[in-house]
A and B are shown apart, each in its own frame.
Chain A
Amino acid sequence: MASETTATSSAAIGLRRGLVLPLLLLVAWEAGSHSGLVNPQFLPPLEKVGQVAWQELANGELPYALAASLKRDLLGFALGAGFGTVVGLLLGLSRIADRIFTTWFNGLKQIALLAWIPLISLWFGFDEAAKVVFIALAAAIPVILNTVEGVRSTSTKLREVGEVFRFSPLQLVWSLYLPAATPSMLTGLHLGLIYAWLATIGAEYFMAAGPGIGGLIISGRERFEMALVMLGIVVVGLVGFVVDRSATWVEHRLVRWRTA
């Protein structure tokens, strides 16, 4: 091991180690399903799940459901992130807005996300609009919190530099507060992306049935097709994983000035 000191080989070792646990679980799953210890109706063997995946891919059901979910997810995220950024900047920059809203907002964020569903359903119905609003709400909360945090933690020493050079309020926001808050804001957007995807599946479970991965899982349960349920869950996990990794990658690109 000592000879393998290059970055590539240590990354490869990391990957191999990271794969150990999932592979063991898959082996246990397969063994459990075939051994008769577990009812295969509750735990279908892997090849059955693979077969259903192929079938759903071929008949277009899976791509259709995935596209519907992603569209909903991204639309909700975009709305929530936009709204959250504006609200977060206002709360962070304006002392008056801060005094009026922050306590109120801190109370609101204590309400569990799922508790909003009845209210949103009453206001926006059970359809697409209500789902998007729910996803937007989920995304907005971490974006607001992290934007406020980023703006507030801007160094007063750097603020004095702006004062010395007679920065206008707009120059202060644009040249100081926004760049200073960027790392924290990106963290908020990253969390917002994760929350939005969780909320997408939640909305599809709890609101009116419609196209989507959540709908696919629900229909699998209703038809007692465990393989379809498993497939849905795997896809949800994979999308979450890809979203998280991409967000991390983008974050690193955008705040490269931070890394030494």
Chain B
Amino acid sequence: MSIAVDHADRVAETTDSRGRLEVRGVSKTFTVNGAPIAALNDVSLTVAPGEFVALLGPSGCGKSTLLRLIAGLDRDYTGRIVQDGNAVTGTSLERGIVFQEPRLFPWATVRQNIALGLKNAPISEAGKREAVAAHIALVGLDGFAEAYPHQLSGGMAQRAAIARGLVNRPRLLLLDEPFGALDALTRARLQTELQRIWAHEKITMILVTHDVDEAVFLGDRVVVLAPRPGRISRIFDVAAARPRARSDDALIRLRNEVLRTLEHDGADDGKAGQSNRSGA
């Protein structure tokens, strides 16, 4: 536990306390064939500036829905979402997002796609060019600036999407299963890259995933969601030091514990899960 506290202190020191997110009592209902379906039920979560939170859960637990609400892409919900004291009422350049698919504009080169993120940024053209070039280098796409999306591999396209999400330096980056469609090797490489970028940029990140290893490897906290209705089942603190190694014993123990929680949630599907916290 003491390691966890130290880690939290370090996070507080190294960031300028921007990128704080509060989710208070958020519920969301979809209507399917005239019948209301509860996608999220009374979800509350506070994310500290510079923190990396992994939202983990089986499909249908509302984790992607929650991310879309935070992004401001869906405004039809009850409850409050507040970033740095401002209520989320729509999309904002303060919040970047990387989707599961790269969603690059197929008619634009990598450079032009990344520059899309700066279209409405209040900086000079020269500043924009510099920022784009810096982010191409950050995600390791040097030499591919003039390539079109159809010329990129899945992993490279997702790197470009990450650069586009980061280029206007949002305080909060939302990642919606960004590596879900990639092969295992590429996924592992990009997870390591993302850890490096997060440490380098010191911005708050919220990652939605259904991959337990990914959540444990990347997150400061792993928030496990349970389905029907989508709700927070349990929150795990991940105290392992960074940069992390996948073979770390503490990580593997935590991973097994998270897996047991997921299995347990699946077993008593429908009943409200216990909400408690556990250190690793």
Contact = CB atoms under 8 A, between A and B. Distances in A.
B198 interface: no
A158 B103 contact: yes
A115 interface: no
Place the interface of chain A in its size category. Answer: 20 to 34
B97 interface: yes
A169 B101 CA distance: 24
Contacts of A260: 150
B11 interface: no
Nearest to A176: B105
A189 B120 CA distance: 33
Contacts of A259: 150
B105 A165 contact: no
Interface string A174-193: 01100110100000000000
Interface in A241-260: 255, 257-260
Interface in A132-190: 157-158, 160-161, 163-168, 171, 175-176, 179-180, 182
A114 to B, nearest CB: 38
Contacts of B107: 179-180, 182, 255, 257
Residue of B92, B95, B103, B117 ringed by the most chain A CB atoms within 10 A: B103
B71 A166 contact: no
B179 to A, nearest CB: 18
A257 B103 contact: no
B144 interface: no
A163 B116 contact: no
B91 A158 contact: no
A80 B107 CA distance: 27
B150 A164 contact: no
Given A165-B116, A166-B120, A157 B101 contact: yes
A164 B71 CA distance: 8
A158 B91 CA distance: 14
Contacts of B71: 164
B92 A258 contact: no
B73 interface: yes
A175 B116 contact: yes
Nearest to A167: B119
Given A176-B105, A179-B107, A161 B116 contact: yes
Contacts of A257: 106-108, 148-150
Given A158-B103, A167-B120, A175-B116, 19 more contacts: A157-B99, A157-B101, A158-B105, A161-B99, A161-B105, A163-B91, A164-B73, A164-B95, A165-B91, A165-B116, A165-B117, A165-B120, A166-B92, A171-B120, A179-B105, A180-B107, A257-B107, A257-B150, A259-B150
Interface of B: 71, 73, 91-93, 95-97, 99, 101, 103, 105-108, 116-117, 119-120, 148-150, 168
19 contacts: A157-B99, A161-B105, A161-B116, A163-B91, A164-B96, A165-B93, A165-B168, A166-B91, A166-B120, A167-B119, A175-B105, A175-B116, A175-B119, A255-B107, A257-B106, A257-B107, A257-B108, A257-B149, A257-B150
Closest 9 CB pairs of A and B: A179-B107, A257-B107, A257-B148, A166-B120, A164-B91, A163-B91, A161-B103, A260-B150, A157-B103
